[in-house]
Structure 1
Amino acid sequence: MPEGHVIHRLARTLEDRFLGQTLMVSSPQGRFAREAALLDGHQLACAEAAGKQLFLHFDLEDPRHIVFIHLGLIGKFHVKPWTEPVGAVRLRIATEDWAADLHGPQWCRLITEEEQDAALAKLGEDPLRADADPERLWPRVHRSRRSIAAVLMEQGYFAGVGNIYRAETLFRLGISPERPCSELSHEEFLAIWEDLVGLMAEGVRAGRIDTVRPEHTPEAMHRPPRVDDHGGEVYVYRRAGQPCWVCGEPIRTRVLNGRNLFWCPRCQHCP
């Protein structure tokens, strides 16, 4: 599932290509045809990302004028120079020169502003949003007896954070994934938040996740670059059994709440 930086980068791209233009909106697949017909011929007012969710606001007076998209595990939203649609395109937004085709989303709905407010209310704080406030989140995190690794994956706490950012931030700060949230200090919590803000903002800029510090890049360590479908240079994510770039200890993995967790037992030992 795409992490939050992907959705924020997508929102920026959609605004760059389509903002303020009269658009051709359609559903070649047919499953969003009635809603697309209402939007056809209107303008995109803004594209807003929140966590892993995307909200496309159109300039209709009708209350239902926001397209609510969640890509889920297999969804893709490609923005490209105009071509004929290929495959099962749920939603197409196009001009004469550009097209954005949505394939296989978990959902694509036309909603009201009130329904958007309700959806946003279910999310926690998004490190990439200007209106995020870690101090609103801190009391809830500190009350939890669950591990920080578990809570970091909860969208009701850290919106937009996924498995890669969870594993990498904890490694970078030397925090054991097993630490109960209630044992974290306020300073440790803020360090996690600030690291996520920096890493995820860089992910938006670069379009990939890179988490290693300058001294641990392939060039600095004279090692081959990482070869992985997810791309990017990382410390522990999907590196189980390989040596830690910092201490040489083999990276470990186990399943936590249905997702693979990765960590270094030496660099992230419990205090």
Structure 2
Amino acid sequence: MVEGDGCHRIAAQHRKQLVGRKLAARSPNGRFRAGAQAIVKCGGVLLKIEVHGKNMFYFFGAEGSQAPSVVVHVHFGLAGAFAVYKEEPEAGSSIRLRLETADSKAPHLVAHLSAMVVKHGKPESLYTALVAKLGADPLREDADPESFVSACAAAKKPVGTVLMDQSVCAGVGNIYRTEILYEAAIHPNQPANTLTRAEVLKLWNTAVKQMQAGYKSGSIWGTKAGSFCYDKKQSACGGKVKHWKMGGRSVYACQKRQRLEARKAPKESKAPSLRRSGTLHVDGVVSAVKAENKKRAHRRGLGVQHVALKDDETRAAALAARVRKRPSKR
């Protein structure tokens, strides 16, 4: 699954490479033909990119215009990729949208998109309507943690369920759910409305911290060698880990650190200072190829931490890794 930090990494790179460029568009596999035609018809200039959680929005319009007339919505789902190349490889059968720079600026670039959801429409009907259904995104500068606090206070459901609800907290996926709850020392089954304001804000701060680390490093573990608790039998603190299904996905909890408490109502405590959300202040962002190479070196599965940001360097590194894996002929 491509989680929110992965989408924000793609957007940051594409803002540097593609925003302001006039782009020709077509659909190699034919599954986004109408959308590609709409991009060309409106003028084909990529005006801006917005990300809300796991949802990416590319706004197109006429040259010299500030008002986009077409928006393309991308949701990767479990897999997919959005690659920008200087040296274009052959477009595979999964490529739904191909973009190519069609202006006099350098460099000449080609982008390939494969994703579970690729839709197009008018900004006011597609973008505005969809974003209205999404919760606060820890990696957006305009994130409102109070909406997260209010949603938790109103929810009788387990906090593990609430944290994965994209209408409450946009961008958090299954791995982040386990890791955030572990670091915040909150049991996934704890009813959300029994948490104190301080606990909910601690949960929010932890989500911001971990997802910013993921954005910076290109790894869902951030700078850690591996997970705290996810997919483990023993957690980072040495406690025994239990796992079960929650909302159809496996959730993990440390029996030592995360205790399920019987509460009727939350007891108030001093709330922590809010951590700054967003990514604009995050320095030292690791490139896609360095992030992938580090995962290979540590034998971390690229499938578990699916990387959707691709370019010439990641392609070359992947090809080199395949060559190294081939058995030598005797």
- TM-score scaled by length of structure 2: 0.71
Question: Which residue of structure 1 aligns with residue 121 of structure 2?
Answer: 111
Output the CA distance in 2 between the equivalents of 1:245 and 1:67: 41
Contact 1:168 1:211 in 2 (8 A): no
- Shift of residue 211, structure 1, vs aligned partner: 5.2
- Shift of residue 160, structure 1, vs aligned partner: 0.5
- Shift of residue 3, structure 1, vs aligned partner: 0.8
Please say if 1:269 is aligned against 2:264: no
Cα RMSD (Å): 1.9
Amino acid at match of 2:97: L
Please say if 1:7 is aligned against 2:7: yes
Please say if 1:236 is aligned against 2:229: yes
- Shift of residue 63, structure 1, vs aligned partner: 7.0
- Shift of residue 12, structure 1, vs aligned partner: 1.0
Percent pairwise identity:
33
Question: Which residue of structure 2 aligns with residue 153 of structure 1?
Answer: 164
Q: How many residues align?
A: 249
Question: Which residue of structure 1 aligns with residue 85 of structure 2?
Answer: 80
Report the secondary structure of 1:24's partner residue.
strand
Output the CA distance in 1 between the equivalents of 2:196 and 2:244: 26
Contact 1:211 1:234 in 2 (8 A): no
- Shift of residue 69, structure 1, vs aligned partner: 1.1
Please say if 1:185 is aligned against 2:196: yes
Map 1:215-234 → 2, pairs under 5 A = 225=225, 233-234=226-227
- Shift of residue 140, structure 1, vs aligned partner: 2.0
Find the partner of 1:58 among 50, 57, 60: 60
Output the CA distance in 1 between the equivalents of 2:141 and 2:236: 33
Please say if 1:27 is aligned against 2:27: yes
Q: For residues 35 and 244 of structure 1, do their structure 2 counterparts lie closer, same or farther at Cα, with a shift above 3 Å needed? A: closer
Report the secondary structure of 1:235's partner residue.
coil
Amino acid at match of 2:9: R
Output the CA distance in 2 between the equivalents of 1:84 and 1:140: 46
Question: Which residue of structure 2 aligns with residue 228 of structure 1?
Answer: none
Report the secondary structure of 1:10's partner residue.
helix
- TM-score scaled by length of structure 1: 0.86
The structure showing larger relative contact order (alpha-carbon pairs under 8 Å, at least 6 residues apart) is: 2
Deviations 1:126-157 (A, max 9, x none): 11111111112312211111110010010010
Find the partner of 2:151 among 114, 130, 140: 140
- Shift of residue 20, structure 1, vs aligned partner: 0.9
Deviations 1:171-210 (A, max 9, x none): 1111111111111000000011111111111211211112
Deviations 1:225-266 (A, max 9, x none): 5xxxxxxx2111121x2x2221x2332211111000011111
Contact 1:85 1:101 in 2 (8 A): no
Report the secondary structure of 2:157's partner residue.
coil
**Unaligned residue ranges in structure 1 (runs of 5+):** 218-224, 226-232
Question: Which residue of structure 2 aligns with residue 17 of structure 1?
Answer: 17
